[in-house]
């Protein structure tokens, strides 16, 4: 019964990845296409400062997105976890609705708000708070905003699941022992919700790193991320070997963070078994 599904995934996922792997060691043909001559040049090209800058910028933007989502998501998740059960369910559905709304639509909403003739500039001009429209769109900040907006639910849901499991008596005990808010957070909440924090961070970091639409629509020429570079190499520059090498590097970073995540999750089961 497994065979048809397994064959399907092997044929249309595993095999294509192997093709990418093979092509990443090939040479670019004169008019695009692939020449099957072994070379490491594509990987050496990745060290070029231009590619290095885009790769570094992508990791930085993804890390900043993760950090901002954590800072915004933790208080929200904590608040929801402390509500009465029926209101918890309502808030969770409210978090899930944007999460399931078409990503293009959500990104377009920010274009509508931020562009030169957009809602925000119109509003600020009418209120005479500014004299000339601000350049808000097509910047790294706009990309960051779009990424946080897009992936915040990925952070809130696992954090909520982790906080909800904490025994309220532990928090009361901390208050009784005169813990201040910061100590409560640092000494009680963080250690107890570590698996949830890591899960949320990985779930936000991975799609942010691989983002294509957000930087494509909200970013300018200087806010390119790896996803855009890969698309550019494949569809515009038609350098498939280089594009393949880039995709593999991105996949390695992603796989690395997933392995780290699984390692970090593993002790939790032990703790639960002991407790």
The CB-of-35 to other proteins minimum distance in angstroms stands at 13
What is the chain's percent helix, strand, coil content, to nearest 5?
A: 75, 0, 20
Smallest separation, CB 268 to other proteins (Å): 18
Stretch that binds other proteins, among 4-12, 37-45, 135-143, 264-272 (CB under 8 A): 4-12
| CA distance readout (Å), 202 to 21, 112, 152, 169, 236 | 24, 30, 12, 29, 31
Instruction: Name the DSSP class of 223.
Output: G
Among 90, 96, 130, 187, binds other proteins (CB under 8 A): 96
> Within 225-244, which residues bind other proteins (CB under 8 A)?
226-227, 230-231, 234-235, 240, 243-244
Spatial separation of the C-alpha atoms in residues 120 and 113, rounded to whole Å: 6
- The string of DSSP codes covering 36-56 is ----SHHHHHTTSHHHHHHHH
Binding residue (CB under 8 A) for other proteins from 35, 79, 90, 266: 79
Residues 262 and 259: their CA atoms lie apart, in Å, by 5
| Identified binder of other proteins from the candidate list 31, 47, 117, 272, rule CB under 8 A | 117
Binding mask 33-72 for other proteins (x = CB under 8 A): ---------------------------------------x
* Binders of other proteins in range 241-260 (CB under 8 A): 243-244, 247, 250-251, 254-255, 258
Compute how many residues bind other proteins; rule: CB under 8 A.
Answer: 78
Q: How far apart are CA 250 and CA 20, in angstroms?
A: 12
Instruction: Give yes or no for residue 210 binding other proteins (CB under 8 A).
Output: yes
152 sits near other proteins (criterion: CB under 8 A): yes
Question: Is position 197 an interface residue for other proteins (rule: CB under 8 A)?
Answer: no
Expressed in angstroms, the distance from the first to the final Cα of the chain is: 39
- Closest approach, Cβ 146 to other proteins, in A, equals 10
Rounded Cα distance between 127 and 125, Å, is: 5
Site for other proteins in 164-183 (CB under 8 A): 175, 181
């Amino acid at each position: 019964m497994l065979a048809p599904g397994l064959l399907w995934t092997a044929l249309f996922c595993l095999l294509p990845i192997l093709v990418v792997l093979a092509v990443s060691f090939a040479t670019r043909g004169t008019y695009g296409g692939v020449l099957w001559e072994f070379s490491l040049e594509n990987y050496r090209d990745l060290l070029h400062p231009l590619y290095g800058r885009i790769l570094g910028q992508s990791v930085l933007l993804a890390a900043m997105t993760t950090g901002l989502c954590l800072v915004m998501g933790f208080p929200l998740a904590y608040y929801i976890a402390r509500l009465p059960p029926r209101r918890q369910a309502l808030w969770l559905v409210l978090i899930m609705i944007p999460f399931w709304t078409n990503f293009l639509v959500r990104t377009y909403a920010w274009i509508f708000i931020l562009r030169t003739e957009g809602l925000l500039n119109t509003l600020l001009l009418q209120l005479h708070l500014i004299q000339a429209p601000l350049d808000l769109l097509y910047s790294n900040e706009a990309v960051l905003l779009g990424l946080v907006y897009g992936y915040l639910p990925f952070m809130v849901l696992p954090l909520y699941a982790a906080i909800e499991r904490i025994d309220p008596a532990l928090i009361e005990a901390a208050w009784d022992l005169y813990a201040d808010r910061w100590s409560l957070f640092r000494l009680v909440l963080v250690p107890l919700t570590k698996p949830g924090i890591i899960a949320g961070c990985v779930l936000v970091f991975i799609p942010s790193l691989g983002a294509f639409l957000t930087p494509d629509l909200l970013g300018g020429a200087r806010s390119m991320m790896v996803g855009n570079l890969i698309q550019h190499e494949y569809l515009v520059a038609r350098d498939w070997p280089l594009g393949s090498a880039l995709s593999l590097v991105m996949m390695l970073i992603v796989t690395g963070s997933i392995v780290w995540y699984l390692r970090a999750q593993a002790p939790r089961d032990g703790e639960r078994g002991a407790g």
